[in-house]
Amino acid sequence: MTEVTPACARPTKRRRNGSTGTPTGYTAHRAAREPVCEPCLEAWRAKQAERKANLSPARLEKERARKAELARLRRQAASACVSAGQQGTVAGYAAHIAADQVSCRPCRDASANHDYGSVCARPTRRCPNGRTGTRSGYLAHLYAGEPACDACLKGNAAQEKVSRAQDPEKALRNTLWSKYRMTLEDYRARLEAQGGKCAVCGIDAPTDFRTRRFHVDHDHSCCPTSSKTCGKCTRGLLCHACNTGLGNFQDNPERLLAAVAYLTARKGATPDAVH
Q: Is the model's pLDDT at 149 over the cut of 80?
A: yes
Which pLDDT score is estimated for 194?
92
Distance CA 106, CA 91 (A): 12
Question: 40-70 pLDDT, tens per residue?
Answer: 999 999 988 888 877 777 788 888 888 888 7
Which helix H or strand E contains 237, and what residues bound it?
Answer: strand 234-238
Under 8 Å CB-to-CB from 229, ≥6 apart: which residues? Answer: 179, 180, 181, 218, 222, 223
Element (H, E) at 217: strand 215-218
Ranges 93-102, 158-167, 176-185, 257-266: which has the least confidence: 93-102
pLDDT in tens, 65-100: 888 887 777 666 557 787 777 888 888 888 888 887
pLDDT of residue 133: 92
Per-residue pLDDT at 263: 87
Q: What is the full DSSP assignment across 34-57?
A: -PPPHHHHHHHHHHHHHHHHHS-H
Burial of 176 (0-12, 13-18, 19+ CB in 10 A): buried
| CATH superfamily entry for domain 170-273 | His-Me finger endonucleases (3.40.1800.10)
Q: Over pLDDT 90: what percentage of the chain?
A: 18
Start and end residues for every CATH 3.40.1800.10 domain found in the chain:
170-273
Q: What is the pLDDT of residue 141?
A: 87
How does 77-96 read in b/e, with b if 16+ C-beta sit within 10 Å?
Answer: bbebbeebebbebeebbbbb
Averaged confidence pLDDT in the chain: 84
> Is residue 1 pLDDT above 50, yes or no?
no
pTM, full prediction: 0.57
pLDDT at 268 over 80: no
